[in-house]
Chains A and B, each alone.
Chain A
Amino acid sequence: MQMAWLYGLLGGLMIGTAGAILLLGAGRVMGASGIVGGLIDGTGQDRSSTIAFLVGLIGLPAVMTAAGWQVDTHATSQLWLLVLGGLAVGIGTRFANGCTSGHGVCGLSRLSLRGLVATLAYIGAGAATVTALRMGLGL
């Protein structure tokens, strides 16, 4: 896509607006892993709000896709990558208490040291993994 950076910036502003709405409107930090993780392991509060959040998160992209704005995820079809990757993301984000949205967007914007350390750690580990896969296995 041409001008990917512009779509990135625009989409980013929307993501930040989403976080601002949830914070100012409901007093909640918009962390995807915390919101869905709390629902999965039963530690989360305010189930109805969590479900409403997920309906919006999943529903609007579905509507946009149906309306003709299609995005190809280009995800790998290697079973082991999908299973290992999913497990690592699920376990890692819950141990770290946050992911790209919680530690990254919400943490960095309040100058959180924990958010900064987490963000540097997952970007560093992600970069090492992508480089190793490309050089080692050609994936």
Chain B
Amino acid sequence: MRALVSLLSGAFFGAGLHVSGMTDTNRVRGFLDFAGAWDPTLAFVMGGAILPMVLAWRLTRGRQPLTGNAFPDRPSQEITRPLIIGSVLFGVGWGLVGLCPGPALASITYGGWQGALFLAAMLGGMWAVPPLRRALDTRSAGA
């Protein structure tokens, strides 16, 4: 049942990315190009996506998920260095190519070798983070 819910969610996510034009790197990079020929489409996508989610978060109050045990706890609101440095690094990569994790996956069947190479590098980067974190922790603990 959880798998079925997840399949449905993934399908909506993929179709939404496809319909919205967010798998077209020109649109995404056009949004980021505030100083150039700015393309506002991404703002409509973000706004449109936030609306149902506002409702969904409201509906979680005093309820249980349809399947599974509990809703996720509200995470800490601490602004940490990894949050900022990681997000800046992500933004640089996003600007270089115009793909973020969702669209990189959603477009993999039609994105050609370029999409495949980007996704491979992205997954490689994700795979490298736990050992990288450990190395950084050891260094800061030793300092």
Interface residues of A (CB under 8 A from B): 1, 4-30, 32-33, 36-37, 40-41, 43, 46, 48-62, 64-65, 69-77, 79, 81-97, 99-101, 103-106, 108-110, 112-114, 117-119, 121-131, 133-134
B95 near A127: Cβ-Cβ < 8 Å: yes
Which residues of chain A have C-beta atoms less than 8 A from B36's C-beta?
A: 130-131, 134
6 closest residue pairs by CB, A with B? A11-B20, A12-B48, A90-B125, A86-B121, A125-B91, A56-B10
Contact pick for B87, options A32, A76, A103, CB 8 Å = A103
What is the distance, in angstroms, from A103's C-beta to the closest C-beta of chain B? 7
Known: A40-B127, A81-B97. A125 touches B5 (CB 8 A): no
Question: Which residues of B52-92 are within 8 A (CB) of A?
Answer: 52-57, 59-60, 63-72, 74-79, 82-92
What is the distance, in angstroms, from B76's C-beta to the closest C-beta of chain A? 8
What number of residue pairs across chains A and B have CB atoms under 8 A from each other?
A: 482
What is the distance, in angstroms, from B59's C-beta to the closest C-beta of chain A? 6
Known: A18-B12, A52-B3. A27 touches B101 (CB 8 A): no
Determine if B139 is an interface residue (Cβ-Cβ < 8 Å). no
Which residues of chain A have C-beta atoms less than 8 A from B27's C-beta?
A: 4
Interface residues of B (CB under 8 A from A): 2-27, 29, 32-36, 39-57, 59-60, 63-72, 74-79, 82-102, 104-112, 114-115, 117-130, 132-133
Which residues of chain B have C-beta atoms less than 8 A from A7's C-beta?
A: 19-21, 41
Bound together, the chains give a CA A52 to CA B7 distance in angstroms of 5
B44 near A12: Cβ-Cβ < 8 Å: yes
A105 near B49: Cβ-Cβ < 8 Å: yes
A117 near B5: Cβ-Cβ < 8 Å: no
Bound together, the chains give a CA A11 to CA B8 distance in angstroms of 15
Bound together, the chains give a CA A138 to CA B60 distance in angstroms of 48
Contact pick for A24, options B41, B44, B56, CB 8 Å = B56
A92 near B14: Cβ-Cβ < 8 Å: no
Contact pick for B126, options A28, A36, A108, CB 8 Å = A36
Bound together, the chains give a CA A16 to CA B47 distance in angstroms of 9
B11 near A60: Cβ-Cβ < 8 Å: yes
Bound together, the chains give a CA A48 to CA B127 distance in angstroms of 19
Which residues of chain B have C-beta atoms less than 8 A from A122's C-beta?
A: 87-88, 90-91, 94
A60 near B53: Cβ-Cβ < 8 Å: no
B97 near A91: Cβ-Cβ < 8 Å: no
What is the distance, in angstroms, from A137's C-beta to the closest C-beta of chain B? 11
Known: A86-B120, A91-B89. A127 touches B33 (CB 8 A): yes
